[in-house]
Structure 1
């Protein structure tokens, strides 16, 4: 990972396990995310599902990262990876204690796909919000509580880069309209192939 770049971050539970069993697990993970990842990256979109998650982040600039790198990593990429590792380890320890389980919880290594163009960025935001619908966890994007979709369309306080996401699509209404039209396009595509 490199300073100033956008990445699609995602990971999955080991095997057929779940990462999140109840609302408190989802909320605790977001608090851990805030503690470990917000200092190094801004979050633009996310979705947490029972067995996996997706985030769109932009890594902060090199000057800010250098100030945070108190552990002496020579390579900023190693420092960034360590921050993500700390997130996963701290969440897994608490999860293991809560559910009296042992061993690793997350698949390794986690995935960080660089966003290389504007079109890809738009599609990743939609993909992240559409994921619960795609996997059959819900029948509507708006029905899934554990995604940034609601933060983008609301006026409530959020740590998400809401204004930037809204402006990316044009406005809050344009953001909502894009998601609705994209879903209708997918439904039409599915009908054509069934």
Structure 2
């Protein structure tokens, strides 16, 4: 297997996609309290700023700003994933490889990260994160998805409550 090299930029901002091994699944929404607790514990012990986040039933998108001089997002994700998995039903099916590596089999081993290059890149990724529940068809309006930093952005006056429009109105205008 090729050795995967992750980007390391101390104190940088990164976009992540972290996915469950079994898709489709509702596990992240069904266990949202467990996910929030694991995330919060790691954030307290290894600080980072969550710029934007959206939890969907089977994956998470987020942007983190790491502290100056720190580039270790891998350990943070490992701790979040293991903290979430600990205590879940052990009857979840696991491959021999996952058993050998003492993995629960809940998460995909890898995740996607992207180093944010500039303000425009950041804005594109924040928009992508907030619009994702609409893209996947979970809701027709961004504001209707409860597990997103979109609501924090609206509260701070950074986005309008009707940002992203209403897919029902858009579909209706095309006769669909």
Q: Same fold (TM over 0.5)?
A: yes
Unpaired segments ≥5 residues, structure 2: 1-7, 94-103
In the alignment, structure 1 residue 35 sits paired with structure 2 residue 41 = yes
Q: Is the 8 A contact 1:2 1:59 kept in 2?
A: no
Query: Which residue of the partner structure matches residue 162 of structure 1?
Result: none
TM-score (norm: length of structure 1):
0.68
In the alignment, structure 1 residue 101 sits paired with structure 2 residue 92 = yes
Query: Which residue of the partner structure matches residue 56 of structure 1?
Result: 63
Deviation, structure 1 residue 95: 2.9
- Whichever structure has more helix as a proportion of its residues is 1
User: In the aligned structure 1, how far is the partner of 2:60 from the partner of 2:150?
Assistant: 14
Query: Which residue of the partner structure matches residue 84 of structure 2?
Result: 91
- Equivalent pairs, count: 154
Question: Runs of 4 or more off by more than 3 Å in structure 1?
Answer: none
Unpaired segments ≥5 residues, structure 1: 66-75, 155-165, 167-171
TM-score (norm: length of structure 2):
0.74
User: In the aligned structure 2, how far is the partner of 1:95 from the partner of 1:128?
Assistant: 27
RMSD between aligned residues: 2.7
Query: Which residue of the partner structure matches residue 115 of structure 1?
Result: 116
Query: Which residue of the partner structure matches residue 130 of structure 1?
Result: 131
User: In the aligned structure 2, how far is the partner of 1:57 from the partner of 1:8?
Assistant: 7
Deviation, structure 1 residue 44: 1.0
